Amino acid sequence: MTEQDEIRAIMQKVPHRYPFLLVDRVLECEPGVSITALKNVTVNEPFFTGHFPGHPVMPGVLILEALAQAGLILGMRTVDAEDGTIVYFAGIDKARFKRQVIPGDQLLLKLSIGSAKKRLWKFNAEAWVGAELACRAEMMAIPGAPAHEAS
């Protein structure tokens, strides 16, 4: 699969678009088990304009969102969800931030499935920069109806 094919595959599963699509590439995915994905953090990210001027730091909530988007991909590949299925963030527990994420970092998103039932997905999530843990959390999501059925 080429890089162009990979981003298209991500965009089929994740409804977010610029500037809110926070997964650039899936490196590994074993449905029902785990996913490793990548977010390249560049100085051109719009959030760096105000967070913080002169000392850009990726907001923690966006690190969590990147993890949630990788979890969405894993969950949809696990249950073979239809493209266009809307997935709602349901909860987060034990979120901890261990390292700042700054421009130039590559954020490695690693999630494993705690459980994936038809109506509730639970993930153990970690974000890494190199060998350093940046964030850890337990996350939950609820898949809804495909967008074309929801109206």
Interior angle at CA 32, CA 31 and CA 37, nearest 5: 50
Considering the entire predicted model, what is its pTM? 0.89
Point out the residues that are catalytic: 51
What does the pLDDT read at residue 149? Answer: 57
Structure tokens at 28: 């590994």
- pLDDT value at residue 57: 98
Kindly report the length of the chain: 151
Is residue 34 within 8 Å of 74, Cβ to Cβ?
Answer: yes
Distance CA 84, CA 132 (A): 34
Provide the residue ranges of all domains of the chain, joining segments of one domain with +.
3-150
Please tell me the predicted confidence (pLDDT) of residue 148: 55
Q: How confident is the model at residue 2 (pLDDT cuts 50, 70, 90)?
A: low
Chain-centre distance of CA 102, in angstroms?
17
The CATH number of 3-150, from 1.10.167.10, 3.10.129.10, 3.10.450.50, 2.50.20.10, is 3.10.129.10
* Percentage of residues in the chain having pLDDT higher than 90: 64
Confidence of residue 147 (pLDDT cuts 50, 70, 90): low
Residue that is written with structure tokens 């153990």 in the block: 124
